[in-house]
A = this chain, B = another copy of it.
Amino acid sequence: MARVTIADIAARLGVSKASVSYALNGQAGVSEATRQKVVAMAAELGWHPSFSARALSRSRADAIGMVLRRDPALLGTEPYYMRLLEGVEDVLSDAGQSLLLRMVGTTPGRDIAVYERWAGEGRVDGVIVLDRAIDDPRPALLAKLGLPFVLHGVLPGNESGAERIEDQHRDAQLLVEHLFELGHRRIAHITGPLALAHEVDRRNAVRQECAVRDIAVEFAEADYTFDTAYARVTELLGSGIRFTALIFSNDVMAVAGLRALADAGARDIAAVSWDDSMLCQFSYPTVTALERYPDRAGRRSATMLLELLDGRSWNTAAPSPSTLVVRETSRAAASP
């Protein structure tokens, strides 16, 4: 099957390629009669625009890229990313854009190389950047490369973080208030890597919400993995620091922490997770967690990027508030 081109359509109809192009793109410059003939013929011949020809002449790739740089082994366990991708992909496909996906693991710099290559080859029109770090080099690099980008969870133009979309603060309030109502006055928060901007935000927000309620709070840093969370909880238990409830920055760590508590015979301690998943739903005991609607967050970021590429202004809807799903680990504080 030789590809059918606009030259074929033009030849059949005895008009110029230019007219065909204008007609097919809904642009001015053709009579309505010609346009209809062209459109009909294109349908009859089963014409599709050549993606690469269009990309070359328009210098647009009609694709946007995402680089996932968490540990691949962990990616599979965190439904958060799949749901995020789902939202992104949904918006992109409606807009006729493709999603290019790249997983680079945690080796530093591998993501940078991908961006450089994508920019150099003109393979994507823009990228969505995840997991913003403190002093993240990526915004500056992408700006230098001339590759448009959106920081997932941050409104463009506010890279400083002044107007976070993912309102960590509201989430922290939900979690802390819940524990407060259960009677907890001494808690600990097992955070993810504090090199990540949103983890710092979470810690600060938790600190503030606790201060308001006169709750004593401890922090321990882990890296989202089972093993580090298990270790941190075990250390806390042995440290003499007292706490009756734990906040975990993701589901895997929550499950790990529960295991550590059980292994230490501290089964009466309450726990909440910042991320929900089937893990929270089916672990033993089941874990109270925040449903954060990552698909909607993905949809927002994709929409913003497309608006940015089109030079339109932001009319992005307000972020969806999270919901707290209460489960078995929402234990009341033991009476003092």
Chain A residues engaging chain B, CB cutoff 8 angstroms: 1, 3, 46-53, 55-56, 59, 61, 63, 72, 75-77, 79-83, 85-86, 89-90, 93, 98-103, 117, 119-123, 146, 252, 255, 259, 277-279, 282-285, 295
Contact = CB atoms under 8 A, between A and B. Distances in A.
Given A255-B278, A278-B279, A101 B85 contact: yes
Interface centre among A51, A81, A86, A259 (most CB of B within 10 A): A51
A1 B146 contact: yes
5 contacts: A48-B117, A48-B121, A77-B79, A98-B102, A279-B279
Contacts of A93: 102
Contacts of A52: 52, 55-56, 59, 61, 122
A53 B57 CA distance: 9
B284 A120 contact: no
Contact of A120 (B46, B77, B278, B283): B46
A101 B83 contact: no
Contacts of A119: 48
Copies of this protein in the complex:
2
A259 B98 CA distance: 40
B61 A90 contact: no
A74 B59 CA distance: 37
Contacts of A278: 77, 252, 255, 279
Nearest to A87: B72
A23 to B, nearest CB: 18
A223 to B, nearest CB: 16
Contacts of A85: 101, 103
B295 A122 contact: no
Nearest to A89: B103
A102 to B, nearest CB: 6
Contact of A86 (B47, B59, B61, B72): B72
Given A49-B121, A86-B75, A102 B99 contact: yes
Which of A100, A278, A283: most chain B CB closer than 10 A? Answer: A278
Given A51-B61, A52-B122, A284-B284, A101 B86 contact: no
Contact of A122 (B50, B89, B123, B259): B50
Given A121-B48, A122-B52, A279-B278, A76 B72 contact: no
Given A48-B121, A52-B122, 7 more contacts: A1-B146, A76-B82, A85-B101, A85-B103, A100-B100, A255-B282, A284-B284
